[in-house]
Amino acid sequence: MARKRAYLAILAVVAALGLTAFMWGRQADAENHVLKGNKVVVWKDFLGVNAQFLWFSPTLYQLQIDRLKALGLQWVRLDLHWDQLEPAEGQYQIATLDQLVGNLQANQLKSVFYLVGSAPFITTAPAGAPYQDQYPPKDPNVFANRMALLSQRYPSVDAWQVWNEPNLLGFWRPAADPAGYASLLTATAAALRTVDANKPVVAAGMAFFSEMPNGQTMLAALGALGVTSLNTVISYHPYTQLPEGNDPANLDFIAKTTALNQTLRAGGVKTLWSTEWGWSNYPGPKDAQDLITLQGQADYVVRRVALMSAMDFDKIFLFTLSDLDQRASVRDQSYGLLDIDANPKPVYTALKNFLDVSGPQLTPGDPPAADQLPDGLFSIGWTRADGHKLWFFWSAQGGNAHLPNLTSATLYDPLRGTQTPVSGTNGLTVPVKSNLQILLWD
């Protein structure tokens, strides 16, 4: 798996970007953040997961699929590696992929597949160099042809994504090359559209906010090369140490994401996805991401889902559905909602609690009026499909919120799985925690 082989490169990029280790701690006089979504969110269309079904037997990945469907979700993003599908020119190994695509269709799942890595017969890697597949192909048209063949063979796949994280050394050697990737994307988008002119073509998800080691960003460079005119879906992977940013003294995830999305939209991007984000509960030694617990992973994921739901994304894909075995790096083994045997981890349970309270669809709304709020509050208002009002909220500092216009509501804590009736004659006083809570009222 290319992710496994790229972790040293990711470390280098993370260090270059200054993504150093911090704890989610107390801040004095922290700014409050009030978000309001710009569109209706239908969870089954908005929230998907990455999945590595080809790592598992059909029996085991069916259990994973059943867990996914129990969340009310239907979108999966899956990785394909050209060097594994075609280890020698014209010799394809696709029997297990045939079976998988049929099983996805039988389970009524929607899928986006990405193809990454060069096959041995066409890699630009120097002879004898390690990581042969991590170099781009000699001829982008051959890659484009293979993606078109896949699209032709698997018409039930809903979208095709061209490569993965080419701004990282671990996926595009010897250095990030915007012009080289633009050529690959241009050729592949054209080839895919000869098979199905209406099926979405997704540009590679860029790691982080698309930064390159030279200080520039891949998305800006691609924009300057006219890639927006291809009308592909654009995507990036905003991994951060905390759901709200990297540094608790500068929680800039909202600001950075909002600025980037506004720039992309202004540049002509019609459809914007985030095809990876998440946290691993790996035991160490430390590898780029800070060490967090199982409960920490659950806490981070539901906070980030809440944030991204109110931001200008058309679809987001959590990394990942299941933990992986020793073929992955130690860190990559533990990003799953499920453990290696498809048993729910705390993150799965917290996400299910969150989605159960939210219901299948949310319309942007306003948080309740308040005359007292703690500093550092993150606040998002919604209206549920049944007309009930929802408020997502949390603050690293904790404290209390006083809501003078409410007399009764129900307080949910997805992390702990609790629901508590709250009432008062002079408004409601609601405890604010560092983890996400949901207030529901009429």
Of 331, 361, 391, which residue constitutes the final position of a domain? 361
Domain of residue 419, residue span: 363-441
The pLDDT score that the predictor gives to residue 12 is: 41
Q: Is there a domain that residue 277 lies in?
A: yes
Are residues 94 and 239 located together in one domain of the fold?
yes
Q: Is there a domain that residue 86 lies in?
A: yes
Q: Is there a domain that residue 112 lies in?
A: yes
Q: Mean of the per-residue pLDDT values for the chain?
A: 94
Are residues 339 and 413 located together in one domain of the fold?
no
Q: 243-259: per-residue pLDDT in tens?
A: 999 999 999 999 999 99
What average pLDDT score do residues 345-350 get?
A: 99
Q: Is there a domain that residue 322 lies in?
A: yes
Are residues 256 and 203 located together in one domain of the fold?
yes
Are residues 275 and 305 located together in one domain of the fold?
yes
163 secondary structure, DSSP code: -
Distance, in Å, from the CA atom of 52 to the CA atom of 332, rounded to the nearest integer, reads: 12
Q: 96-122: per-residue pLDDT in tens?
A: 999 999 999 999 999 999 999 999 999
* One-letter identity of residue 149: L
Q: Pairing between strand 399-403 and 272-274?
A: unpaired
Are residues 165 and 245 located together in one domain of the fold?
yes
Are residues 328 and 219 located together in one domain of the fold?
yes
Q: Is there a domain that residue 34 lies in?
A: no
Q: Is there a domain that residue 36 lies in?
A: no
What average pLDDT score do residues 74-85 get?
A: 98
**Phi-psi group of 165: left, alpha or beta (phi > 0 → left; psi -120 to 50 → alpha; rest → beta):** left
Q: Is there a domain that residue 179 lies in?
A: yes
The pLDDT score that the predictor gives to residue 124 is: 98
Are residues 187 and 223 located together in one domain of the fold?
yes
Residue 432 pLDDT exceeds 60: yes
Are residues 303 and 389 located together in one domain of the fold?
no
Are residues 295 and 433 located together in one domain of the fold?
no
The pLDDT score that the predictor gives to residue 18 is: 37
The pLDDT score that the predictor gives to residue 29 is: 53
CA nearest 57: which of 319, 340, 337?
340
Of 313, 339, 361, which residue constitutes the final position of a domain? 361
Identify the CATH number of the domain in which residue 429 sits: 2.60.40
Residue 10 pLDDT exceeds 80: no
Are residues 267 and 416 located together in one domain of the fold?
no
* CB 338, CB 322: distance < 8 Å: yes
Q: Is there a domain that residue 229 lies in?
A: yes
Distance, in Å, from the CA atom of 188 to the CA atom of 406, rounded to the nearest integer, reads: 55
Identify the CATH number of the domain in which residue 161 sits: 3.20.20.80
Using pLDDT thresholds of 50, 70 and 90, give the confidence band for residue 30: confident
Of 302, 329, 361, which residue constitutes the final position of a domain? 361
CA nearest 364: which of 344, 345, 387, 383?
383
Could you give the number of structural domains in the chain? Answer: 2
The pLDDT score that the predictor gives to residue 11 is: 41
Residue with tokens 């002079």: 426
Q: Where are the beta strands (DSSP E) in 224-314?
A: 234-237, 272-274
Residue 163 pLDDT exceeds 80: yes
Q: Which residues pair with 274 in a beta bridge?
A: 316
Are residues 153 and 275 located together in one domain of the fold?
yes
What average pLDDT score do residues 406-411 get?
A: 98
Residue 16 pLDDT exceeds 50: no
Q: 169-223: per-residue pLDDT in tens?
A: 999 999 999 999 999 999 999 999 999 999 999 999 999 999 999 999 999 999 9
CA nearest 78: which of 319, 323, 348, 273?
319
Are residues 331 and 317 located together in one domain of the fold?
yes
**HSE on the CB side for 282, CA within 13 Å?**
21
Label residue 54 exposed, middle or buried (CB < 10 Å: 0-12, 13-18, 19+).
middle
